[in-house]
Amino acid sequence: MDDKKILFSAVQPSGTLTLGNYIGAIKNWTKLQDDYNCIYSIADLHTLTVKQEPALLRAHTYELTALYLACGIDPEKAILFIQSHVPAHAELTWILNTMTYPGELTRMTQFKDKSQRHCDNVNMGLMDYPVLMASDILLYNTELVPVGADQKQHLELSRDLAIRFNSRYSETFKVPEPYISKVGAKIMSLQEPTKKMSKSDANINAFISMDDDTDTIIRKFKRAVTDSDNKIVMSEDKPGISNLLSIYSVVTGTSIEDAEKRFDGYGYGDFKLAVGEAVADVIKPIKEEKERILKDKAYIDKILADGADRASRIAYKTLSKVYRKVGLVPRAR
């Protein structure tokens, strides 16, 4: 790799991604791959903390790969691979587990939330999720990790484990820093704008799927919750309008200030329609390109195999160093 900083990010193939996932993560990735050495992973091992239908998981993994490519991820510029194709992720997790305290994991907000939502399947993987995430990051000497505000806790553990290992065994891991987009990093529900947009929301009008067609997108935005005011301004006491302004700003590349000026005097109905149309204009070509790519599984398999080879070379160089430092005997060749 050259002297560009290394950036790592991963998304779970647990179903169709939302507009929030696109704005908060994948949209930025296409820009970042020009400025950083980017490593992008499809985090299939992470999905197993919740019960999965095997055939659906495989389908979702291909769909997510196709979506990455449709959004502009260039496998010539960035490394794109499936997490389970590089066993070093699971191997480093065991080493880091021996340095992680139970209290650190039970305090994790995501563990608490998922334990409540999946009370019939509170498994060790659910608790250990942040350690696997730390392995994902630390294997690649990652310097920057794009994270939403709700993921900073997991990144903090990655930093703590890197520092803890370095202190015990000498300098080994780089301590990663968060990369947080200033605008649109957290897109909220269209129906409850104080909550993050989520594909698991029981109300299908609360989120925009990257597979939604134009009519569905427009309909969902028309039903978006606003307030009784009628002023289109960014304000803490107007979460619905603020969320719509943020979405419009990101998908059109317009500043919040310019968006406020453009829609000054507009009624909420016209404003919501304009936001919906802007979003549909972005999603439609991505959806069409994703469907085209999905028809060529051999092409996808080749990209994933090449990505896994490139990722493995970096990952196993790090893991070999870790094994040596903790005292494990190297296998004779």
Give 256-309 pLDDT, tens digit per residue: 999 999 999 999 999 999 999 999 999 999 999 999 999 999 999 999 999 999
What pLDDT shows up at residue 112? Answer: 61
What pLDDT shows up at residue 28? Answer: 81
Structure tokens at 170: 């000498």
| 196 given a catalytic annotation | yes
Task: Give the CA count within 13 Å in the CB-facing half-sphere of 42.
Answer: 30
C-alpha distance from residue 127 to each of 123, 246, 298, 318 (Å): 7, 33, 36, 25
Catalytic choice (114, 174, 220, 272) = 114
Domains parsed from the chain with CATH numbers: 6-184+297-326 (3.40.50.620), 204-291 (1.10.240.10)
What pLDDT shows up at residue 107? Answer: 81
What pLDDT shows up at residue 183? Answer: 52
What pLDDT shows up at residue 49? Answer: 87
* pLDDT above 90: percentage of residues in the chain: 72
What pLDDT shows up at residue 114? Answer: 64
| 4 given a catalytic annotation | no
pTM given for the model? 0.89
Is 11:64 a contact under the CB 8 Å cutoff?
Answer: yes
Catalytic choice (186, 199, 231, 284) = 199
Q: How far apart are CA 279 and CA 301, in angstroms?
A: 30
What pLDDT shows up at residue 229? Answer: 84
Structure tokens at 30: 């296409």
Q: How far apart are CA 62 and CA 217, in angstroms?
A: 24
What pLDDT shows up at residue 108? Answer: 74
What pLDDT shows up at residue 50? Answer: 85
Q: What is the 3-class SS of the chain, one letter each residue?
A: CCCCCEEEEEECCCCCCEHHHHHHHHHHHHHHHHHCEEEEEECHHHHCCCCCCHHHHHHHHHHHHHHHHHCCCCCCCCEEEEHHHCCHHHHHHHHHHCCCCHHHHHCCHHHHHHHHHCCCCCCHHHHHHHHHHHHHHHCCCCCEEECCHHHHHHHHHHHHHHHHHHHHHCCCCCCCEEECCCCCCCCECCCCCCCECCCCCCCHHHCCECCCCHHHHHHHHHCCCCCCCCCCCCCCCCHHHHHHHHHHHHHHCCCHHHHHHHCCCCCHHHHHHHHHHHHHHHHHHHHHHHHHHHCCHHHHHHHHHHHHHHHHHHHHHHHHHHHHHHCCCCCCC
Say which residue the tokens 């997790």 belong to: 93
Q: In the chain, which stretches have pLDDT less than 50?
A: none
Catalytic choice (27, 174, 196, 238) = 196
Tens digit of pLDDT for each residue in 68-109? 999 999 999 999 999 999 999 999 999 999 999 988 887 876
| 317 given a catalytic annotation | no
